[in-house]
Structures are given as structure tokens and as C-alpha cells.
Amino acid sequence: MEQRTDSPYPRLDRPILAGVGVVLVVSTVLFWWADRSHDWRYYQGEFRQMVVEKFGADRAGTVPSGIQQIWAPGLRRADRCQTCHQAVSWKGFESAEEPWRTHPAEPLENHPIEKYGCTSCHGGQGWAIDTYAAHGEVAHWEEPLLSKSLGESYSLATDKKALIQMNCNVCHRYDRQTKGADAINLAKRLVQEKGCRACHVINGYGGTIGPDLTEVGEKAPEQYDFSRLSGQKTAFAWHVAHFKDPRSAVSDTVMPNFHFTTEQSQALSMLALSWRRVAVPAEYVAGAPRTDPRTPEEIKKEEDMKTGPGAWFVSTGCFVCHSISALGVTSPAQIGPDLSTAVVDVQSRFGKTIDDFLREPTGTMSVVLSRQIILTPEQKAIAIQKLREAFAEYERQKKAGATPAAPSH
Ligand code: HEC
Ligand code: HEC
Ligand code: HEC
Ligand code: HEC
Ligand code: HEC
């Protein structure tokens, strides 16, 4: 038989039960009150009023109430932004204040909100229904709203609204140009012109002297070394400082200082941070083919140089960084000096013969020859011979009166 134990506090039973009951009632009231006081109810009330005034009570009846959600399964996003931003698809509120303003039409033409939601472009926390939480102004949230206010706090040099373009480029990374993403377009042009791929793999091809940048946007702020930088400790600020002068962030780097302006550095930082490993299904990736291909002109130029007198420098990969103008080789990036006169320049610049320089290179070439282009002693001998041939050709052209293409530095 079960033993029944008497309560050790027989006289307290009822008061305790009564207390629990009161707490339940009070907390229910508090929950109800907290829910009533969400600001979205206020925004919805105001919007309904605006519709009544503008279009009459009948139309106002069609304004949905309660929490509004867009479920974009392809992007695995459930965005409730329209709970407050109810006017997004309404015509007639183009000059109202936020959150009651009609959405600018252009971005939504190619990206209907039923399929794209809001956060794929804007960032923020889709499921949140309070302003601060939705706009991502909360600690440890890695996707804040890429808004004008954030652009202001990052001191963007030109268009304060430009940060949103980082999200555009998550899907548009293979476009050379994306209408409406001017900062990203500027940065892509610079990557092409400056030949960043001489040292970096981007979207699958490029050199290995610097780190692969294909997913550099995944790095957490904690992974950056801010010890040499003052000011904001954000990944964005680190990249801007690094682009303006790589050595200001990494003292022993071989990444050249391209003397980028603030606008260019900020655009490149946005581009770098947009290179993320976001799983976007194929149907959401714009542009085909998806390999960031070289243009036909670029390929033809390379082919022509491969068969000319400077073919060795092209097939070995030196031309990625060096022009050898005497032999008709033009480097797309011109990161290093023209090699037409290297055999004499090395002597004056490094105080070594060309043989010694290639055997024991310094600076960028020590990284190039140990990581990217590994040459056997026999191949180094060929390199020296080719450099001598280039110089002989340079001298011959000079004697012949032709102005040899001036070696650029
Ligand atoms: C609780 C209501 C509420 C929710 C939910 C909400 N917003 Fe807002 N939003 C506002 C209000 C109010 C403003 C205008 C005042 C301000 O800027 O904070 C605004 C302004 C904005 C602006 C302009 C800000 C600027 O700096 O230019 C953007 C963009 C925006 N919201 C996007 C979003 C997105 C995206 C979501 C969903 C993740 C969202 N909002 C969810 C209330 C809300
Ligand atoms: C395809 C990307 C895209 C999608 C999807 C999108 N927007 Fe926008 N939205 C933009 C762009 C771009 C602008 C800025 C246009 C401009 O420069 O004036 C903008 C402007 C805004 C603004 C005005 C603030 C400002 O910076 O001018 C608000 C608020 C806003 N969007 C909310 C939303 C909400 C809510 C949704 C979802 C229902 C949404 N957007 C979906 C791209 C998008
Ligand atoms: C979630 C992925 C995604 C995001 C984010 C996105 N786009 Fe798109 N965009 C696409 C896809 C996919 C298409 C192709 C649509 C079609 O034609 O079927 C497209 C089409 C376009 C087009 C028209 C086609 C073209 O290439 O000329 C423009 C312009 C454009 N997007 C600009 C933008 C801008 C600006 C933003 C940021 C505000 C943005 N997109 C954000 C996926 C995206
Ligand atoms: C001569 C080789 C070289 C060239 C050319 C070069 N870089 Fe770099 N880059 C490096 C090296 C080495 C590092 C690693 C050390 C450092 O952070 O500076 C680096 C680092 C970076 C980083 C930081 C990566 C990280 O993981 O933090 C970015 C972003 C970057 N480069 C972008 C570019 C862009 C964009 C260009 C073209 C405008 C470019 N680089 C041109 C060698 C180069
Ligand atoms: C990733 C870019 C890169 C590649 C590839 C590269 N170089 Fe260089 N090279 C440089 C840079 C930059 C310098 C300038 C010195 C420095 O900054 O340390 C340089 C300097 C030199 C010099 C000294 C020239 C002078 O006038 O002082 C020689 C010689 C040279 N490289 C030969 C080669 C050869 C041969 C190859 C191919 C096997 C090659 N380089 C491939 C970037 C590169």
C-alpha cells in the first residue's frame, strides 16, 4: 500500500496555491498588454486611417490586419516587414513617411516580393515584429539593415544608401555590371583593371600569392587584426584601411598600394564583403554562364601574345604582373616593372646580378617564386636567357630609332 505523506506545511498549502493563481492571472494580463502595445498595431492603425482619407472606407476594409508574412521557401526566408511596411505595394503613398511609404518601383520589377521577400536585399531580421529587432539593431546580429543610417555611420563618401548593393551582389556576383549597383560596378571594374587576380583566386581562378577571396566576406570581425588601426573596429573599416594602404593593416604584406581614393576603397570593401558563401538556389542567381568568364577580347589578346616572341613569359605566367614591351607582351595588371630592361635595372635597384636575383629573390618575387611559379634551376637559367634576349631586343629597337615602348614603373 502506498504511504500517504502529510504536507510538512499543512497551513501553507492554500496560501501558496492562491499565490500561484494570482501570478498566473497577472502574467496573462501582462502578456496581453505587451502584445497590445507592439508598435506595429499603431502603424497598422495609422495606415488604415491614411487609406480611409485617401481612398475611402471601402478600400480601407481591404487592408489586412495582424502579422503579415512573406514566405520565400527558395531563400528560406520568412519576412514580416510588411506588418509595419504595409504600403509597399500600394500606389499613392510615394511621399508618405516611413513605414507608410510606397516602395520604389524599379527594384521590385525584376524581383517580386512574393519570391524575394525583403531581407534578401535589405538585411535585417525577417521574423521580428518590433522596429529595433527587425532592423537588426541588436547585439550579435550579423545582418543589420543595410540602410542609409548604417551608410552614414560608415561615412560612405558618395551614396549613403549604397550598402544594400552588398546584398544585390550575393546573387549578381557573376554580372560584370548590375544596373542599380554603381558602387559594386565601380569595384568590379577596378578588380579587372588592377589585375587583382594576379595574386588572388576570385570565383575559381587567379593566383595564389594572396588568400582566395571567393568567400572572404564570411570572415567574422574577430578574425581581423585591428591592432594597427584606429577608429571603428568593423570588417568594413578594416578593408577600407587595407585598400587605402595594405601596409597600414598588415605591415609585411606584398599587396601593392594602389593609392585608391576613399570612394574606391569603400566600393572595393563592399565588393569583398559581398563575396559570401550564402546558399542561394540557382534560380536566384542572375547571369549565365556562372563562371565570371573572360571577355573574347581578353582571351584573344592572351592568345596573340602566346605565339609571339614573348611567348615564354606568357606561358610561364610572368605577364600576369609584368609587361615585356620590347617583345610585345602587355600585362593586364602591370603590378611589377616592365621586364624589357630588367637585366640592368636589377643591378641598380637591388645591387645584384639578374642571376643572383632569381636565385635569391626578395620582396614580391620571393613570394611569387616560392608559391605561385615554382621554377627549377634549369628553368631559371631559361628565364635569365629570355630576359637577356628581351634586353637585346630593347637595345636593337632603340638603335633602330624606334622608340622602345617606355618601360613603365
Ligand atoms: C515594428 C514595425 C517595423 C517593422 C517590423 C519593420 N520596420 Fe522598417 N521601419 C519602421 C519605421 C517606424 C521606420 C521609419 C523610422 C526609422 O527609420 O526607424 C522604418 C524604416 C525602414 C527603412 C528606412 C531606414 C533608413 O535608414 O533609411 C528601411 C529600409 C526599412 N525600414 C526596412 C525594413 C525591413 C527590411 C524590415 C523587415 C526585416 C522592416 N523594415 C521591418 C518600422 C518597422
Ligand atoms: C530587389 C531588392 C529589394 C527587395 C526585394 C525589397 N527592396 Fe526595399 N528597396 C530596395 C532598394 C534598391 C531601395 C532604395 C531605392 C532608392 O535608392 O531610393 C529600397 C527602398 C526601400 C525603403 C525606403 C528606404 C530607402 O532606403 O529609400 C523601404 C522602407 C524598403 N525598401 C522596404 C522594403 C520592404 C518592406 C520590402 C519587402 C516587402 C522590400 N523593401 C523589398 C531594394 C529592395
Ligand atoms: C536573391 C537574389 C537576388 C538579389 C538579392 C538581387 N537580385 Fe537582381 N536579379 C536576380 C535574378 C535571379 C534576376 C533575373 C530575373 C529574371 O530575369 O528572371 C535579377 C534581375 C535583375 C535585373 C534585371 C536583369 C539585368 O541583369 O539587367 C537588375 C537590374 C537587377 N536584378 C538588379 C538588382 C539590384 C540593384 C539588387 C539589389 C538592390 C538586386 N538585383 C538584388 C536575383 C537577385
Ligand atoms: C602582388 C600580389 C597582390 C595583388 C596584386 C593584390 N593583392 Fe590583395 N593581398 C595580397 C596578399 C599577400 C594578401 C595577404 C596579406 C594582407 O592582408 O595584406 C592580400 C590580402 C587581401 C585582402 C584581405 C584578405 C583577407 O583574408 O583578409 C583583400 C580583400 C585583398 N587582398 C583584395 C585585393 C584586391 C581587390 C586587389 C586588386 C585591387 C588585390 N588584393 C591585389 C596580395 C596581392
Ligand atoms: C604576382 C605578380 C608577379 C608575377 C607573377 C611575377 N612577378 Fe616579377 N615582380 C613582381 C613585382 C611586384 C616586382 C617589383 C619588386 C617588388 O615589388 O618586390 C617584380 C620584380 C621582378 C624583377 C626585378 C625587375 C626590376 O626591374 O627590378 C624581375 C627580374 C622579375 N620580377 C622577374 C619575373 C619573372 C621572370 C616572372 C615569371 C617567372 C615574374 N617576375 C613573375 C611581381 C610579379
CATH number at residue 271: 1.10.760
Does residue 248 sit in the same domain as residue 309? no
Does residue 105 sit in the same domain as residue 188? no
For 377, the domain range is: 296-399
Does residue 114 sit in the same domain as residue 58? yes
**Contact call for residues 107 and 116 (beta carbons, < 8 A):** no
**Domain stop point among 100, 118, 145:** 145
Mean pLDDT of the chain: 89
Does residue 121 sit in the same domain as residue 201? no
**Contact call for residues 247 and 253 (beta carbons, < 8 A):** yes
What pLDDT is attached to residue 334? Answer: 86
Q: Is the residue at 5 inside a domain?
A: no
Does residue 198 sit in the same domain as residue 311? no
Does residue 197 sit in the same domain as residue 139? no
Using a 6 Å cutoff on CB, does residue 86 contact ligand 1? no
Instruction: Give the pLDDT band of residue 10 (cuts 50, 70, 90).
Output: confident
Using a 6 Å cutoff on CB, does residue 123 contact ligand 5? no
Which three cell numbers mark 304? Answer: 596573340
What pLDDT is attached to residue 308? Answer: 85
Does residue 158 sit in the same domain as residue 133? no
What pLDDT is attached to residue 274? Answer: 95
Residue 30 host element (H or E): helix 13-36
Does residue 157 sit in the same domain as residue 117? no
Predicted structure pTM score: 0.84
> Looking at ligand 1, which residue's alpha carbon is closest to its atom 6?
81
- Count of domains for the chain: 3
Q: Is the residue at 383 inside a domain?
A: yes
Q: Is the residue at 53 inside a domain?
A: yes
Does residue 169 sit in the same domain as residue 265? yes
- Cα distance between residue 292 and residue 295, in whole Å: 9
Q: Is the residue at 10 inside a domain?
A: no
List pocket residues of ligand 2, CB cut-off 6 Å: 81-82, 85, 88, 98, 103-104, 107, 111, 113, 116, 118, 120-122, 148, 161, 164
Q: Which residue has the higher pLDDT, 29 or 342?
A: 342
Q: Is the residue at 387 inside a domain?
A: yes
Neighbours of 202 (CB within 10 A): 18
Does residue 95 sit in the same domain as residue 159? no
What pLDDT is attached to residue 141? Answer: 65
What pLDDT is attached to residue 408? Answer: 46
Does residue 46 sit in the same domain as residue 133? yes
Give CA separation, 263 vs 146, 162, 241, 269, 335, in Å.
18, 11, 12, 10, 22
Using a 6 Å cutoff on CB, does residue 113 contact ligand 1? no
Q: Is the residue at 265 inside a domain?
A: yes
What pLDDT is attached to residue 85? Answer: 97
Q: Is the residue at 7 inside a domain?
A: no
**Domain stop point among 111, 145, 179:** 145
Which three cell numbers mark 163? Answer: 550598402
Does residue 157 sit in the same domain as residue 279? yes
**Domain stop point among 90, 111, 145:** 145
